[in-house]
Structure 1
């Protein structure tokens, strides 16, 4: 990443539309419910493709970390290929990093995939969504995947708290919020101290749990995605200004929350000026180890 020329780094951006596979309309009602919940603004009547998303961020000089969400076991919906995201990142390495997503139900086969994506495609982290994937993050079936991530000292992002996915659907679409209670990440962070654990989103209604875990475990961060900052709990802003100022990350949840809105509201809700650069860019640089010499990083086999 050409960090000197980026005004910020968005650490939570979704790959929504594949360019190499036809759309999987199975479970489309989940997308429609989420769009209604978030008030998503759709251009061209659909969510953006990966190239359209990259161009959106390039115009704003904002770096991005992009990933899909693999919830094939729970929803039966085909994921966007991790390799596709990684190839776009290789072609846009000045401002984009690829994370991968692997359903924990894939166990040791998932671990094999994780290793291949890291060593052959230069993937720099992973995304998990306990509610969509239908399991607690500390379920031992996920541990073979975590072992690979920890071996390479990479970050893993975990959805936490309420889920816009399933909100308003009959029975919440069958999705269970209990899987995304942050306290289950405390055990993961303790068992894998070499894996950076990112608790995604303000973790309502369990915000204090997330703050406590982040304060207690050196390898835990919080990303501020999925909510406009004007809706953040006061204690989240308080800790971002003080004890956890080096562990909070700018993140939008694009395209459900757009960075323009997030950044505008961020300026007005009480974040101290001295923490702005930390949250918007510096903490992400540390999380992603972007200052390390290239010779010390895994070199992708593509691009």
Structure 2
């Protein structure tokens, strides 16, 4: 079965070192023993994806320069990876809402000048504002104009200094989905711990999709699978969060989750293919 991974970063030495030493994620990396993750040469990473039938992988950029004086796994790295392997990687450009129209123009330039950049990504908990804050709205409008989807990073933001978990509650994404019905939205990390809230936001908005990377086996996570088998079968996407969790481990994990056969095929490939136009 072909697979599309909707949250992936190549585990090159530069990426591994950058994540482990970043201001935002250093404490988290220590807590999960991230240092055990082994870096691989770029060519070996591509070979591994091929061997595991991962035909496309989305690499999300991150721009939190205003609030954390850091780009983390920044847009330059995303563009570099996607340029090296355009047949394999799809780039989503990280956007800092505090940069105003400069951010909007930067996003437009990235998408119009690079065929491998086909989406945008935001991290409200790193921006320290809600996703329905007015600072984001020019960015959403530009995404609609460009016809590109947007990834909203949610989740618990564990150990990130200064992060407020309420900034990524799915209820605020619901406002955005209603204000911008043309904008395809992907909730990354399942809106955890607001599991049922995230499910309903995806179910009631035609333009909202979701991936649950890192939280597949956490408390209450069985509701994601139940919902996929009943009310959001066309909305759930496979995502590994590699290299925080190795994508090969995630592939094995998803094969064991209680998805119905037809739903499993949608989760692993078909739903993502529709969003990306593959």
Is 1:61 the counterpart of 2:53 in the alignment?
Answer: yes
Is 1:42 the counterpart of 2:42 in the alignment?
Answer: no
- Mark the CA change 1:150 to 1:178 in structure 2 (over 3 Å): closer, same or farther: same
Is 1:194 the counterpart of 2:182 in the alignment?
Answer: yes
Counterpart of 1:254 (choices 242, 245, 248) is 242
What secondary structure, in the 3-state scheme, does the structure 2 residue paired with 1:100 have? strand
Aligned to 1:238: 226
- Mark the CA change 1:53 to 1:126 in structure 2 (over 3 Å): closer, same or farther: farther
User: Do the aligned partners of 2:20 and 2:35 also contact (CA within 8 Å) in 1?
Assistant: no
* TM-score calculated relative to the size of structure 2: 0.88
Aligned to 1:273: 261
What secondary structure, in the 3-state scheme, does the structure 2 residue paired with 1:202 have? helix
2-side partners of 1:116 and 1:18: how far apart? 29
1:20-62 CA-to-partner distances (Å, cap 9, x unmatched) read: x9x7799635433222333435356xx6676665454244331
Q: Which runs of 5+ in 1 are unaligned?
A: 1-5, 167-172, 291-303
Mean CA deviation greater in 118-127 or 35-44: 35-44
TM-superposed deviation, 1:256: 0.6
- Mark the CA change 1:267 to 1:78 in structure 2 (over 3 Å): closer, same or farther: closer
2-side partners of 1:80 and 1:50: how far apart? 16
Aligned to 1:7: 2
- Mark the CA change 1:9 to 1:228 in structure 2 (over 3 Å): closer, same or farther: same
User: Do the aligned partners of 1:229 and 1:262 also contact (CA within 8 Å) in 2?
Assistant: no
Aligned pairs for 1:11-30 within 5 A: 11-14=6-9, 28=22, 30=24
Is 1:224 the counterpart of 2:216 in the alignment?
Answer: no
Is 1:127 the counterpart of 2:115 in the alignment?
Answer: no
Is 1:86 the counterpart of 2:79 in the alignment?
Answer: yes
Aligned to 2:138: 144
2-side partners of 1:11 and 1:274: how far apart? 19
Counterpart of 2:63 (choices 57, 65, 70) is 70
Q: Which runs of 5+ in 2 are unaligned?
A: none
- Mark the CA change 1:75 to 1:221 in structure 2 (over 3 Å): closer, same or farther: same
Counterpart of 1:163 (choices 157, 166, 171) is 157
What secondary structure, in the 3-state scheme, does the structure 1 residue paired with 2:191 have? coil
Mean CA deviation greater in 192-201 or 258-267: 258-267
- Mark the CA change 1:26 to 1:144 in structure 2 (over 3 Å): closer, same or farther: farther
Task: Say how many residue pairs are matched.
Answer: 275
- Mark the CA change 1:89 to 1:284 in structure 2 (over 3 Å): closer, same or farther: same
User: Do the aligned partners of 2:62 and 2:71 also contact (CA within 8 Å) in 1?
Assistant: no
* TM-score calculated relative to the size of structure 1: 0.81
What secondary structure, in the 3-state scheme, does the structure 2 residue paired with 1:158 have? strand
Aligned to 1:108: 101
Aligned to 1:282: 270
